[in-house]
Amino acid sequence: MPDAGIYAKFEDLSPFEIKDELIRLAQADKAGRVYLNAGRGNPNWIATRAREAFFLLGQFALTEAKRVSYDEAAGLAGMPPTDGCYGRLKAWVQKRKGDPDIPGAETLEAVVDFAIKKFAFEPDKFVDELTDSIIGDHYPVPDRALVHNEAITHEYLMWAMCAGHRPSAKFDLYPVEGGTAAMCYIFKALKNARLLNSGDTIALVTPIFTPYLEMPHLEDYALKQVHVSAEAEDRFQLTDEDLKALEDKSVKALFIVNPGNPSAVALDPESMGRLVKFVKTKRPDLMILTDDVYGTFVPNFESVMGHLPHNTIGVYSYSKYFGCTGWRLGVVAVAQDNIFDKAIRALPESAQKLMDARYKALTPHPREIKFIDRIVADSRDVALNHTAGLSLPQQVMMSLFGLVEMMDEDKIYQKACMAICQRRFDKLMNGMGIEFHARPYFDRYYGIIDYEFWARKYVGDEVTDWVKQNVHPLDIAFKLAEDHGIVVLNGSGFDAPNWSVRVSFANLPDEAYDSIGRAIRAVARGYLQAYRASKGELAQP
């Protein structure tokens, strides 16, 4: 067995940094071996209809710009005009409908008319927002979110994050450059609003996406952490015992990824009810951030923001569901009636004066700035607030993704995405030679393979205890890379069990997962053989 000391230099690294070494080992030239990277969650599918509409809309927008002025020799045109643009779009699309070489005409016409009817948009104003924005010739105005995009995205979020429990609350939205940007902006704004200060304590529902574990330690924030462990034994759900840690009022905020990453399990109704009751009866002051990027992979998903809108900042990314990680599309949602604004107003005068000085260039009344608008301003260090906001072509793509999904009443696209993950999950289980009956709240986007749990069930405690005493937990991931050309991430980096790895079901062909399952079983078999060999040596006279 390898010396555990060789893994010491990797123990403090993020799994996303360890993966570079795993990739190097897995890509080593070994005859007949296929390299499989199941360590990252970039899906290998894309949503086509919204993209077809997007690229066709761009062509129409160029014809509109040329209507104003056009210097063909210079390649220079004006800005798309507003008056009559809806009628011109309809006529332009009609000429292209039914042409197999011009996909997207039917979708573009349908989504525009759907939005106008559903949201009572003025046709010319809505089409102008689309055409001017896709050209990208202006700064975002309003800087936080385009008017029509905010209405569309709000309705989409009510399905994506609150399909099973839609709140009556209205949310203000801030479209951002993906979920990662949302995290950075929110951490920064909470600090600048004096809602989280150096030395304060936050709680994390673990296991959790690694950056939530790492960012609080940065000197920028210097936050203490309490881990609320939603363990496999509890089906990754919150128990009454778990919530006791939150009774301490020094715990200022609770951070949740729901469904979990890497657990891939959403909070079930019992767990959600337990959290809601706890907050309403014991901690109405508790700030909550919920990151719900995988919610669309759970039928009738219920977000914490739907049940506790007053307390919650919602974060959603379009990346996984629509296969658009490169587009960097995300959104921050804060209810218009929220504890964040109230907490800011309740701060002592000394803190108020510091914030007055910070935001005085934005308004004569800086104390009236809403928390979500502080997030926007802080994302550009306040001084550049006038150029804040997600780029306009990105906001158009966001609108089109949302509209196409809303029109899919039978949720054909959602079912197809879920079916992909289900097939791959089934193949992994087949390769491992085990049966596992997932509960309804398992999204199957990722999976945690807990070697210790599996080994105790199939080979017993004695073997498992020997392996834990003689093998380093990182050995599983390294053996899969070096011996089988397979990259997975170590679960310990997510505060999952030490003897676990995270597998992504999103980014490899279906047939790869049977091979991954067999490789995981082969590694386990190697540990069993090493155990038996050690017993044989001990038995010799």
* Among the ranges given (32-36, 59-63, 202-206, 229-233), the one the predictor scored with the smallest mean pLDDT: 229-233
pLDDT category, 335, cuts 50, 70, 90?
Answer: very high
Residue span(s) of the chain under CATH 3.40.640.10 come to 147-388
- DSSP code at position 268: P
Neighbours of 528 (CB within 10 A): 17
Q: In the numeric block, which tokens belong to residue 24?
A: 């190097």
Residue span(s) of the chain under CATH 3.90.1150.10 come to 3-32+412-535
CATH 1.10.3720.10 is the classification of domain 48-138? no
How large is the average pLDDT for residues 99-119? 96
Residue span(s) of the chain under CATH 1.10.20.110 come to 48-138
Is the model more confident about 12 or about 1? 12
The pLDDT tens digits for 396-434 are 999 999 999 999 999 999 999 999 999 999 999 999 998
The pLDDT tens digits for 193-210 are 999 999 999 999 999 999
pLDDT category, 455, cuts 50, 70, 90?
Answer: confident
For position 3, what pLDDT does the model report? 57
How large is the average pLDDT for residues 39-56? 96
CATH 3.90.1150.10 is the classification of domain 3-32+412-535? yes
Q: In the numeric block, which tokens belong to residue 434?
A: 């085990």
- With pLDDT > 90 as the criterion, what percentage of the chain qualifies? 87
Whether the predicted pLDDT of 490 surpasses 80: yes
| HSE-up of residue 176 (Cα within 13 Å, Cβ side) | 26
For position 234, what pLDDT does the model report? 65
Whether the predicted pLDDT of 6 surpasses 90: no
Q: Which of 322, 317, 250, 259 is nearest to 283 (CA)?
A: 250
Whether the predicted pLDDT of 436 surpasses 90: no
Q: E-assigned strands of 100-259?
A: 171-176, 201-206, 224-229, 251-257
Q: Which amino acid is at 492?
A: S
Angle, to 10 degrees, between the axis of helix 512-539 and the axis of helix 461-470?
A: 90
Q: Tell me which of 3.40.640.10, 3.40.50.880, 3.50.50.60, 3.40.720.10 is the CATH number of domain 147-388.
A: 3.40.640.10
The pLDDT tens digits for 111-167 are 999 999 999 999 999 999 999 999 999 999 999 999 999 999 999 999 999 999 999
- Nearest-angstrom CA–CA distance, 87 and 469: 73
- DSSP code at position 100: T
For position 539, what pLDDT does the model report? 41
* Full-model pTM: 0.94
For position 13, what pLDDT does the model report? 87
pLDDT category, 442, cuts 50, 70, 90?
Answer: very high
pLDDT category, 541, cuts 50, 70, 90?
Answer: very low
Whether the predicted pLDDT of 271 surpasses 90: yes
> What average pLDDT does the chain have?
94
